[in-house]
Amino acid sequence: MATLAVMVLAAVAYRRNKMTAFVKSLLLTTLLLALLAAESRAKERQAFEHEVKPILKKYCYGCHGETTQEADLRLDTLSDNFENHKVAETWVDALEQLKLGEMPPEEEQQPSAAELSTLTEWLTKKTTEAERNFSQHGNKNTMRRLTDYEFRNTMADLLGVDIGDTTLPAEIASEDGFVNDSAHLPTTPTHLKVFWEEIQAALDKVVVDASKRPAVLKDTRTISDNYLHYTDKNNLFYLSQKNTPAHGPFRITVVAKRIDPQKPALFSTFLGTPSNPRCLPMGESIPAATGEQLTWSPKETPKSYADQVWTLAEPLIPGEETRVHFQYTTGRHRLNIKDVRLEVGELKLIDKHFGFTGGKHHKNVWYFRIPKGAPTTGWKLTATVAGDLGNDSNGIITVSGPNDKFAGQEFTTHTFDGFLEDYPVDGLRPKGHTALAWESKVGGKRGRPANIIFKSITLETPYY
């Protein structure tokens, strides 16, 4: 708990740009004490496994083990964690039975004097410490150090940092061939010095002095609303950044939308170039709109303005808004649209504004408020449309209500985070990096027809 409290204190100080030498020293000291405390617990655990448990197994588990639990007592699964009050009480009862000579029973094999001494001394020591702890009188810990691999694993658990190989002296194996035998793990000044240096190096990786932060490079490539277009022939959208640092976190932000709600809209982001195998992709899917979907084709694309009618199968909700979205998908010509109407019986709703959809899009969503008390079914959609310089046009019309997702018809933001050191790009530094959004293959082929419109891409390095 003390370690956690100090780490939180350090994190708060960093967030507030108030990391001081005192806080860092306090964190270092606490981490070192935590390592030593972990060693103490490991030594006690090792003593139980190697010295105490074999005696219990030989003389106690027969009556208090897996198959038999006399007096409802089972020792083979009883924890040696004396910080648990119930566990400690059970061991205290067992100690009393040993002292009274009632365990093991007279008719059973008896431990030797040495074995009985080992068992009673261990129980007396542990129960006495537990009693002191429960009485808040403090506790004594036996200190021993971690092995090299235990130290590295502990640092990873505490700070989330892989410190790699250390300069700790090589471990000396015991007579049994173990390198984690407590008798062969002395804590020397050399070990303390290496622990201290490694902890400081690890903290340098996770604790950043706000006053020494490098400047954040932020580059954005944006397409104007009036000039939105598909990705290039390779379904790529990218920007290049100069003087990208070699280390630190980065963030790529992509703003994009789906075209055809019935087709996949998947893309990956890269840092570097797609041809560099070390620039690993990160995948993302653009959500699709929901609602009733209609289509138009060259048959419904006159060369001059004419009304086209579609019958709606899904009900509309009175008192709520309904959206009609025309979205071009394929073809050589855009579709011009005006005077969009929703009609049922004598009731007619109209949105007269002009819009178009094609390689570029302009005001291609029409909005209607369905009157309260209006019928829910029997509606027809009518629009006055014309192909622009031809009738080679195909697309999707999505009619959506208040309970439908509109995400596929609007631009959504997608973010990707990583670390620059994981994306080395030979030959580009110090010139910089290229951030790419790359649409996944559509229909097994790259290139048009694409199903994503990218609006912007942003690269921030380093990103804090």
> Does the residue 231 lie in any domain?
yes
> Does the residue 258 lie in any domain?
yes
Residue 309 and residue 457 share a domain: no
Taking residues 27-48, report their average pLDDT.
64
Q: Are 370 and 316 in contact (CB under 8 A)?
A: yes
Closest CA to 395 of 324, 311, 460: 324
Tokens matching residue 107: 């008719």
Q: Are 449 and 330 in contact (CB under 8 A)?
A: yes
User: 272-323: per-residue pLDDT in tens?
Assistant: 755 564 555 556 677 666 789 899 999 999 999 999 999 999 999 999 999 9
Task: Out of 387, 404, 421, pick the residue that ends a domain.
Answer: 404
User: 346-387: per-residue pLDDT in tens?
Assistant: 999 999 999 998 877 888 889 999 999 999 999 999 999 999
Residue 337 and residue 457 share a domain: no
Residue 239 and residue 184 share a domain: no
> Does the residue 211 lie in any domain?
no
Q: For the whole model, what pTM was predicted?
A: 0.43
> Does the residue 432 lie in any domain?
yes
**Predicted confidence band at 1 (pLDDT cuts at 50, 70, 90)?**
very low
CA atoms lying within 13 Å on the CB side of residue 214: 15
Residue 138 and residue 58 share a domain: yes
Residue 299 and residue 185 share a domain: no
pLDDT of residue 18: 47
User: 114-167: per-residue pLDDT in tens?
Assistant: 888 888 888 888 877 777 666 544 444 444 567 777 777 877 777 776 777 777
> What does the mean pLDDT of the chain come to?
74
Residue 241 and residue 382 share a domain: no
Residue 297 and residue 263 share a domain: no
Residue 258 and residue 273 share a domain: yes
What does the alpha-carbon distance between residue 238 and residue 259 come to, in Å, rounded to a whole number?
19
User: 73-126: per-residue pLDDT in tens?
Assistant: 888 888 777 766 777 778 777 877 777 777 888 788 888 888 888 888 888 888
Contacts of 84 (CB under 8 A, 6+ apart): none
What does the alpha-carbon distance between residue 246 and residue 425 come to, in Å, rounded to a whole number?
9
**Domains of the chain: total:** 3
Task: Out of 404, 423, 438, pick the residue that ends a domain.
Answer: 404
What does the alpha-carbon distance between residue 11 and residue 26 come to, in Å, rounded to a whole number?
12
Q: Which domain holds residue 343?
A: 292-404
Residue 58 and residue 44 share a domain: yes
> Does the residue 212 lie in any domain?
no
pLDDT of residue 250: 84
Residue 314 and residue 276 share a domain: no
Residue 345 and residue 237 share a domain: no
Residue 350 and residue 266 share a domain: no
pLDDT of residue 197: 77
Indicate which CATH number applies to the domain containing 428: 2.60.120
